[in-house]
Amino acid sequence: MSHFADASPDPKSHIKTLMRIGYTMPSAVSDILDNSITANAKNIEIHSLPGFKEPNISILDDGDGMSPEELIQNMKIGCKDPSDDRERGDLGRFGSGLKTASFSQARKLTVISKKEGEPLCAAVWDIDRIESENAWCLEILDENEVKAHPLLLLGSKKESGTQVIWEKLSCLNKTNHSLDDETIMASNLSELGNYISLHFHKFMDGKNKRNFSINNAQLQSIDPFMTRSPGYQEGRSEKLRCKGGYIEINTHVLPHFKRMETIPLERLGGANGIVQNQGLYIYRENRLINAGGWLGLAKTSQLGALARVEVNVPSSLDQEWATDVKKSSLQLPPRIKKELRKFLADPIKRSKRVYTYRGKQDKANKYWNIQENENDKTISYQISAENDFLIDIFRVIPKEQKSQLIKYLGQLAENLPLNHIYEKMSESPRDIDQESVTDALLEAIMSRVFEEEINE
């Protein structure tokens, strides 16, 4: 007869697996923010308190909080069934985020919480202890211990709220060893701020508005569609009914680079960022999950740089969309791919139009011919022979100089610094200034000729 043996995972090795789920620091913090939002927090503060021997990170909210019993239950990994239906607006799914996100960044997780009418409570996961005891031993602090906690920020005045504390940070030693912790922390926090401003931008304005801050500096939303910039174009949109609500699709075309305001442009990664981040913006319950890229539905191209397709998905579709624990990746179901394809052509086409409209002078111009050879798919840039100015010169100069000039012009075209132009056009198109080149040339030639004359 067969029998069963207890083969539950060894806590010591299980915890190692959980620490390696592959969060980045910003995506791990985002998982904590998800919980605060779901708990109806209006103010979410991230702090890294100075003056301690070891660096630390706290995420503090004024949401509903947890009772002591709820806290203990919620500190368990997999405290909720992933297949349970969740309320609209609940950003959770797996009952794991709080723990797995924390363990990916810190070896010690303390959660302090207070629910209305309940006492302040706190529980601690310490990986060092889990490893040394080889057991899932959760430490519960008593009320006095909580109140005396050196990192406590959750005021006793507040009716309710939660503070998540990360200590023994593992996210800091990954980077450059020569830098001190504070410098690394400062750069991590600034990167984190940008990530939150983009991924939670829908929670920073409008009816969902909440306040987010890092070390008391308020974060401002980054709108990836630049909807409030002059020159922005709104495109087609559609609502698809599905299980648990609607999938909403909106298309956007950003303004031309030249019309983009400097600050929003910088915040979206400059012109390079704009080109690279064209594509699909997929939101799950208003939180951005996928920021750009066409996910195989279209090709990233210079001309499509301004095209954006926004897709809003309810969490009821998590299974179909294969949402992962980190909420940082998902897969498009085949049906959605088909539907989305219909929406791509229009913004891409319009992006091309906006893009080339501004570049129109480049196209038909008296000095350059753009030769596109359809058959061998080549393009060449040639100096135009139809230029009156050039023809006048040819009429007056002697034969010998004619061939010299032709040779020179040919070389000029052959040596066009195409790669450099391409690079600069995509990185910082607004830095390019061709207006004073004639003066510069004149000056350079004059001074050279002058020098030669003197030498003679």
Partner 1 sequence: MEIEIVDFIVKVAACVCGKDGIISQAEEKAMLNLIILEYPNYPLERFNQALDEFFDETLQIEDYLHKLARSGLNPFIINICELSASADGLDIKENIALHKVKLILGSEI
Ligand X SMILES: Nc1ncnc2c1ncn2[C@@H]1O[C@H](COP(=O)(O)OP(=O)(O)OP(=O)(O)O)[C@@H](O)[C@H]1O
Compute the least distance from the CB of residue 283 to ligand X, in Å. 16
Stretch that binds partner 1, among 37-45, 130-138, 296-304, 327-335 (CB under 8 A): 327-335
Nearest to 338 by CA among 407, 238, 229: 238
CB atoms within 10 A of CB 332: 21
Shorter beta-carbon distance to Mg ion: residue 92 or 235: 92
Q: Report the alpha-carbon distance of residue 188 to residue 190 in Å, rounded.
A: 5
Work out whether 162 is an interface residue with Mg ion (CB under 5 A). no
- Which member of 129, 339, 353, 368 binds partner 1 (CB under 8 A)? 339
CB atoms within 10 A of CB 185: 21
Shorter beta-carbon distance to partner 1: residue 238 or 324: 238
- Which member of 63, 97, 224, 279 binds Mg ion (CB under 5 A)? 97
- Write phi, then psi, for 139 (nearest 5 degrees): -90, 130
Shorter beta-carbon distance to partner 1: residue 75 or 280: 280
- Write phi, then psi, for 382 (nearest 5 degrees): -120, 150
Where does this chain bind ligand X (CB under 6 A)?
Answer: 31, 34-36, 39, 61, 63-66, 74, 79-80, 92-99, 162, 325
Structure tokens at 366: 């008296």
Work out whether 303 is an interface residue with partner 1 (CB under 8 A). no
Q: Report the alpha-carbon distance of residue 38 to residue 89 in Å, rounded.
A: 7
Q: Is the dihedral of CA 371, 373, 374, 379 positive or negative?
A: negative
Work out whether 35 is an interface residue with Mg ion (CB under 5 A). yes
Instruction: Determine the longest span between alpha carbons in the chain, in angstroms.
Output: 111
Shorter beta-carbon distance to partner 1: residue 228 or 342: 342
Binding partner of residue 241 among ligand X, partner 1, Mg ion, none, CB cut-off 5 to 8 Å per kind: partner 1
Work out whether 313 is an interface residue with partner 1 (CB under 8 A). no
Work out whether 336 is an interface residue with partner 1 (CB under 8 A). yes
Shorter beta-carbon distance to ligand X: residue 80 or 168: 80
Binding partner of residue 333 among Mg ion, ligand X, partner 1, none, CB cut-off 5 to 8 Å per kind: partner 1
351 near 278, Cβ under 8 Å? yes
Site string for partner 1, 222-261 (x = CB under 8 A): ----------------xxxxxxx--x--------------
3-state secondary structure (DSSP) of residue 393 = helix
Compute the least distance from the CB of residue 121 to Mg ion, in Å. 19
Q: Report the alpha-carbon distance of residue 260 to residue 127 in Å, rounded.
A: 48
Residue type, 9: P
CB atoms within 10 A of CB 286: 14
User: Can you give the binding site for Mg ion, defined by CB under 5 A?
Assistant: 34-35, 92, 97
